[in-house]
Amino acid sequence: MTLAEAMADERRALPNVAKQLPLGKLRPPAMRPELERSALRHAIASISQGVLITGPDQMTLSVNKAFEQMTGYTEAELLGRSCKLLQGPATSLQTVKELRAALNAQEPFHGELLNYKKDGTEFWNELSINPVFGRGGELTHFVGIQRDVSERKIHQAQIKLAAQVFAQGHEGIMVMDERRTIVMVNQAFTDISGYAQSDVQGKTNRMFSSGWQDESFYQAKWHAINSTGRWQGEVWHRRKCGSELLVWLTITAMHDEQGRVCNYIGTFSDISGQLASRERISWLSHFDTLTNLPNRTLFMDRLGLAIKRAQRTGLTVAVLLLDIDHFKEINDTLGHDQGDRLLVAAAQRLRCAVRDTDTVARLGGDEFAIIVSDLQNLHPVKTVAQNILDTLAAPFALDLGSVYVSASVGIALCPTDAVGIDTLLKSADQAMYAAKASGRNCYSFYTHELQDHAQNRLWLANELRSALVSDQFWLAYQPILNLKTGTVRKAEALIRWQHPVRGLISPSDFIPVAESTGLIVDIGEWVFRTAAAQVAQLRNTHAADFQLSVNKSPAQFHRHSASTETWNQHLVDRGLSCQSIVVEITEGLLLEASQHVDDQLRSLREAGVQVSLDDFGTGYSSLAYLQKHDIDYVKIDQSFVRNLVSGSKEMTLCEAIIAMAHKLDIQVIAEGIETTEQLDLLRDAGCDYGQGYLFARPMSAQAFDAYLAQSATGGNAVPKG
């Protein structure tokens, strides 16, 4: 029904309302006109469209509730005023002119006008105005009925824009029905493929197949579309003329109101011209243009992959760094072009000196690097190093005659010497300079104590296995004080290894070995269960809300994803609240967190286990990580606390960390507090908790029990500044 029809129906309905009322039975005949007017007012008020009644002078006499809601003006604000106040800067002057002409001629008007609400909001108004005449033919009123058609106008604009994009866009577009039959294509489609709409209408897009992709490719493509509603990727198509082109194709499934596929929309662009450039750019970004060897970027990528593989397999990766001895003198004496020729020849020899699986790269200048991976012993890397020295010792034929060179080679091993790429390269670089210091034309390992170091790691790994079964581990407890109240309701559980022969072995010595061998999983389980038993006793004896913090290394998250659920269940089985344990993690874990790490952290939080971020500020701190993982505590690293004095940079950093954490509803624990000055500064800065030698050193369970008993009587109060 059009607006005019609706208006006519409503106008015809108004007298009927009065006719249907039994006015004669209710009031004397003299009262009937008044009742009819009342009924008319009620009918107008109930109309869903806006109604405006003006006098012959076009000044407002009455509006209904729908008009008020549509414009934001009340009837009182509009009485005696012209509707010009609804017009604004974007209102069509031509339409206003046509409206005025119709009213002045006492003729009906129907049109659309952009008006403005009281708050300044634009809205499109579909307007019908009719003059009302008295019995003598004189003009008595104008009655306007209007409807907000903003949504329709927006929809029309969107349809118009979509049509323009379809017709004028640079990407080829094809519309298919639910049977994948082509219904429509745009001009860009024809320009790119050579096919007009009449060529493709009623056919499937398989007519463009070049033969480069097999049937399984197309099956996988449509499986993805039907499963996810969308697919995109590179496809080789064939033009009408028979030539081939590489296109970037996107196909999207469209659904009707019942959720059934009604159309498929395919868009594509010709990327054939980009292919060669892309391949060239890729090559330039990964290879050295002089020697055609992998460059630093590709070398770093391959080294990262080799390290990850070594972590999975437990084998060793060797990095060899070498440079040509006195190469600068060759460049200065013979010229850079001869130096470049020597580098090209040296690169060819290096390729022949290594195994097929090894990587030879040029890092820059006369510096080369080799990755030798999957080592079970040092023999292969020693062989490669000696081959390098031997092959470079042979003379190089240059324009001015034969040139003899030598090289210095430094070797570093992963994980023996380092586990990170940068650290590994630094170690190899130091070893290379050690080779130069030894007289050049030789190779040197990162440390002369390499064998002792490897044997020590092997010994630690073997002893760690027996330590678990022979009760050589014990937990020390260091109190964490509430800096406002001086009470102790928290402590950190720290593992200690009492070896029967070597005595107390530092965690910094055995934890890395435990992580690299996977023993950290069993050790971590022992720490957790021992701490759970201890916190149960502490809650029973000292404070019902006591908490113990346990450290959980990244290796535990990566190697044993089920431990989180096991921990949660163990606490429940013991009748302990999950808030009795705080899990301490490192910033590095958040930085490298995978989906299964995220899931474990989420499982802890959902169970009620609180999470503390250890050594905060020493790694890659990120507010996004704190927010995403809902951290409860951050621990200011003792490196910030150690040199803490008023006005220092450390003080500024601590204040910033505390303020930031509190804004995120995170509590702050300061580690390594050793002086009352540090305590006073941190307490004044609003730090929540403190931990350090000023309060107590880590102690045995028995000593800690006595410490808490003494604290309860005021014997271990927080020192005053």
| Residue range 270-289, pLDDT digits in tens | 887 777 777 778 888 899 99
In the prediction, which pLDDT does 435 show? 87
In the prediction, which pLDDT does 286 show? 92
Task: Report, as an integer, the average pLDDT of 65-75.
Answer: 92
Task: Report, as an integer, the average pLDDT of 76-85.
Answer: 91
- CA pseudo-torsion sign 438, 441, 447, 450: negative
318 and 421: one domain? yes
As given in the structure block, the two tokens for residue 119 are 């708050």
Asked if residue 163 belongs to a domain, the reply is: no
In the prediction, which pLDDT does 19 show? 38
SS3 194: coil
Range of the domain at 240: 169-276
As given in the structure block, the two tokens for residue 720 are 């005053």
SS3 410: strand
pLDDT-based confidence at residue 36 (cuts at 50, 70, 90): low
**Is residue 136 over pLDDT 60?**
yes
Least confident of 146-150, 590-594, 599-603, 659-663: 590-594
* Domain C-terminal end among 394, 420, 448: 448
Asked if residue 700 belongs to a domain, the reply is: yes
As given in the structure block, the two tokens for residue 569 are 């269940």
Characterize the bridge pairing of strands 172-177 and 610-616: unpaired
**Is residue 626 over pLDDT 80?**
no
Higher pLDDT, 37 or 215: 215
- The CATH number for 10's domain is 3.30.450.20
Least confident of 472-481, 593-602, 641-650, 701-710: 593-602
Q: How many domains is the chain built from?
A: 4
Higher pLDDT, 185 or 494: 494
Q: Under 8 Å CB-to-CB from 252, ≥6 apart: which residues? A: 225, 229, 230, 264, 265, 266
State the chain's mean pLDDT as an integer: 86
In the prediction, which pLDDT does 560 show? 66
CB-based contacts of 353-359 (< 8 A; 24+ apart in sequence)? 353/384, 353/387, 353/388, 353/390, 353/391, 354/384, 354/387, 354/388, 355/380, 355/384, 358/384, 359/294, 359/299, 359/302, 359/303
Task: Report, as an integer, the average pLDDT of 170-182.
Answer: 89
In the prediction, which pLDDT does 12 show? 45
In the prediction, which pLDDT does 449 show? 61
**Is residue 633 over pLDDT 80?**
yes
626 and 647: one domain? yes
Distance CA 135, CA 30 (A): 20
360 and 444: one domain? yes
443 and 462: one domain? no
For 230-256, the pLDDT digits (tens) are 999 988 888 888 888 888 899 999 998
Within 13 Å of residue 395, how many CA atoms lie on the same side as its CB?
Answer: 7
Higher pLDDT, 240 or 675: 675
- The CATH number for 497's domain is 3.20.20.450
Q: Are 469 and 457 in contact (CB under 8 A)?
A: no
| Distance between start and end Cα atoms, the chain | 84
For 337-349, the pLDDT digits (tens) are 999 999 999 999 9
Measured in residues, the chain has a length of 721
In the prediction, which pLDDT does 720 show? 54
Characterize the bridge pairing of strands 610-616 and 581-586: parallel
Q: Give Dmax (Cα) for the chain.
A: 133
Q: Under 8 Å CB-to-CB from 305, ≥6 apart: which residues? A: none
Asked if residue 18 belongs to a domain, the reply is: yes
For 291-309, the pLDDT digits (tens) are 999 999 999 999 999 999 9
**Is residue 25 over pLDDT 60?**
no
In the prediction, which pLDDT does 48 show? 82
- The CATH number for 312's domain is 3.30.70.270
Asked if residue 156 belongs to a domain, the reply is: no
In the prediction, which pLDDT does 595 show? 77
15 and 125: one domain? yes
622 and 675: one domain? yes
Characterize the bridge pairing of strands 689-690 and 667-670: parallel
In the prediction, which pLDDT does 142 show? 93
Q: Which helix (H) or strand (E) holds 620?
A: none
For 349-383, the pLDDT digits (tens) are 999 999 999 999 999 999 999 999 999 999 999 99
697 and 652: one domain? yes
Asked if residue 73 belongs to a domain, the reply is: yes
Asked if residue 159 belongs to a domain, the reply is: no
CB-based burial of residue 268 (10 Å sphere; 0-12 exposed, 13-18 middle, 19+ buried)? buried
For 43-66, the pLDDT digits (tens) are 677 778 899 999 999 999 999 999
Distance of CA 267 to the CA centre of its chain: 28
543 and 434: one domain? no
* Domain C-terminal end among 149, 179, 209: 149
Distance CA 528, CA 534 (A): 10
In the prediction, which pLDDT does 188 show? 86
* Domain C-terminal end among 427, 448, 469: 448
Paired with 452 in beta bridges are none
Q: Are 421 and 300 in contact (CB under 8 A)?
A: yes
Asked if residue 719 belongs to a domain, the reply is: no
482 and 590: one domain? yes
363 and 323: one domain? yes
35 and 124: one domain? yes
In the prediction, which pLDDT does 619 show? 61
For residue 189, give the nearest of 209, 177, 211, 205 by alpha carbon.
205
pLDDT-based confidence at residue 332 (cuts at 50, 70, 90): confident
In the prediction, which pLDDT does 481 show? 96
Q: Are 117 and 38 in contact (CB under 8 A)?
A: no
In the prediction, which pLDDT does 33 show? 59
Asked if residue 126 belongs to a domain, the reply is: yes
Residue with tokens 């790694």: 619
Give the Cβ contact number of residue 428 at 10 Å. 26
466 and 610: one domain? yes
Least confident of 509-513, 671-675, 687-691: 509-513
As given in the structure block, the two tokens for residue 395 are 């003379």
Q: DSSP readout, 125-169? A: EEEEEEEEE-TTS-EEEEEEEEEE-HHHHHHHHHHHHHHHHHHH-
